[in-house]
Amino acid sequence: MRQEQAGPRRAPCRITVLCDNESADPGCGCEWGLALAVELDQGGLWLWDAGQTDLFLRNARHLGIDAGQASGLALSHGHYDHTGGLGALCAATAFRGPIYAHPACARRRYAQEHGRPKPIGPPLPLPDFTLAGPLTVLAPGLTLLTDIPRAPGRFQAVQGFSLDPSGTEPDLVPDDAFLVLDSASGPVVILGCCHSGLANSLACARQRLGLDRVFAVLGGLHLFKAGPEALEETAGALEEFGVRRLLAGHCTGPDRLARLKRRLPDRQVLPLAAGQTWFF
């Protein structure tokens, strides 16, 4: 009987945390923000968000990653803690790749904190960027999804956001986006802040990409102010899509992540921190 030859083994994809609220590497700083470097299995480096300052660039240099050589950058949404380092990237490195973002990324935005408006939008003007539609293929194996449908009754993290200082015009963060990475381990969903809610985001991936199973979810879940119903919905979505690995940080909330870990004892649930590298 002839034995079938196995196909060539795929190289792993690599995701490095360039910025997060916590630091795993003594040489990396941390701040309230998120930035990731995504290295594809066929070659090519993409940046996901740019943190709050130029810190993500300094961390990248410490980790031996030349952010200026990235093929491109994609933005998860237009909040300051994901866009603040864009100016430094364009001014202090050789980066000349495209920046992909939803058109609403460039809005002025506010959050009501202690009865006062706090500007939380991006530094303006933003560098020239390429408009991202509901589904944008950035590179083979890397897809950006935005304009995420939100089912009535499902959790979404948009409370307290507005487009005006008085708080009269609600901001539903329509530019909220996520990536889907095709890896040797299986699909990896890469989040920014997941303002649409994880259940809505994974349902969007199913609708547009036909995904019923996801190997890993990585990024921020914006659960740090969420109640038990949102946590249960998030845990249920992870179970429904068979997610084996949850790597969450930034706006997730350490106590919320600990609750998810207890709720999902048969899955790997770990915190993100600047300096980490994950292989898929």
Q: How far, in Å, CA of 37 to CA of 18, rounded? A: 7
pLDDT 10s digits, 75-109:
999 999 999 999 999 999 999 999 999 999 999 99
For the record, the structure tokens of 222 come out as 């914006």
Q: How far, in Å, CA of 58 to CA of 53, rounded? A: 10
Tally: H helices and E strands in the chain: 6, 17
End-to-end CA distance of the chain: 34
- Residue 7: per-residue pLDDT: 54
Whether 6 is covered by a domain: the verdict is: no
HSE (side-chain half, CA atoms, 13 Å) at 10: 15
Residue environment code for 173-199, b if the CB has 16+ CB neighbours within 10 A, otherwise e: bbbbbbbbbbbebbbbbbbbbbbbbbb
Whether 97 is covered by a domain: the verdict is: yes
Mean pLDDT by 10 residues, the chain (280 residues): 54 97 95 98 97 98 98 98 98 98 97 92 95 97 98 97 96 98 98 98 98 98 97 98 98 98 98 98
Whether 74 is covered by a domain: the verdict is: yes
User: CA–CA distance from 144 to each of 90, 102, 158, 180, 259 (Å)?
Assistant: 22, 10, 21, 7, 29
User: CA–CA distance from 244 to each of 208, 211, 237, 270 (Å)?
Assistant: 22, 15, 12, 11
Whether 138 is covered by a domain: the verdict is: yes
HSE (side-chain half, CA atoms, 13 Å) at 242: 9
Whichever domain contains 126, its CATH number is: 3.60.15.10
Look at the chain and report how many structural domains it folds into. 1
Whether 9 is covered by a domain: the verdict is: no
Whether 50 is covered by a domain: the verdict is: yes
What is the helix (H) or strand (E) element at residue 268, kind and residue range?
Answer: strand 268-271
Q: How far, in Å, CA of 189 to CA of 182, rounded? A: 9
Whether 224 is covered by a domain: the verdict is: yes
Whether 156 is covered by a domain: the verdict is: yes
- Residue 238: per-residue pLDDT: 98
Q: Which domain holds residue 39?
A: 14-279
- Residue 213: per-residue pLDDT: 98
- Residue 161: per-residue pLDDT: 97
